[in-house]
Amino acid sequence: MCLARVAERPGGPPVAVRAYFPDTPAAAVRQKARWLTGIALAGWDRTGWRATLNPGDHWMRMRDRRATLALPVLALAYATLLLWSVSMTLHFIDRSAMPALAPAVRTLLWVNFALLLWRLLVRAAFVQRAYGWGEAFWSAPRVLVGNYIALFAARRAIVLYVRILLGAAPRWDKTDHQFPDLSERAAP
């Protein structure tokens, strides 16, 4: 298995399908929910895990299915961040000290923060290579937007999948695609 970046011609743009992702939150949630329902949930239902003993095959299945498994973790993480912020604000107003964190928890939080920074830097580097510095700058804030869409899409996908399990016919929401003008090109 390999992730290949192949140029259309020497020095040309990469070979890729170019279409804009839906530009409204509702349309983006519908699109991502369709992917999750079809690939992650229905795929899990039909192919399971036992097809082969090939680790690459299982790696790809886990990559497809992690979005629905990560939903509770992501929701708890955002709830924890919100509650921690409220607690910190109340301690600040009350002029009282926050409870001390255990050293192991503090270390875990710093390691987690370092890994988050690493992911954001890698994301920005790949975006910069394909689309320039302006888009690379916006790649970090887009993580929050992506998480918002992922949370609501996973919830929608689970509801759609439960309906399928209860006997309803699969309903695939159609996405209206918008394609860039032919004159727009990605940076090589």
pLDDT the model gives residue 134: 93
Counting as low any pLDDT under 50, the low residues of the chain are: 1, 186-188
pLDDT the model gives residue 186: 45
CA of residue 184 relative to chain centroid, distance? 26
76/174 Cα distance (integer angstroms)? 31
pLDDT the model gives residue 130: 81
pLDDT the model gives residue 66: 75
Q: What is the pLDDT of residues 102-132, one digit of tens each?
A: 999 999 999 999 999 999 999 999 899 888 8
pTM equals 0.72
179/113 Cα distance (integer angstroms)? 36
> What does the block give as tokens for 10?
């020497």
Exposure string for 31-54, b = 16+ CB within 10 A, e = fewer = bbbbebbbbbbbeeeeeeeeeeee
Q: What is the pLDDT of residues 147-156, one digit of tens each?
A: 999 889 888 9
Cβ pair 157, 40 in contact under 8 A:
yes
Cβ pair 158, 68 in contact under 8 A:
yes
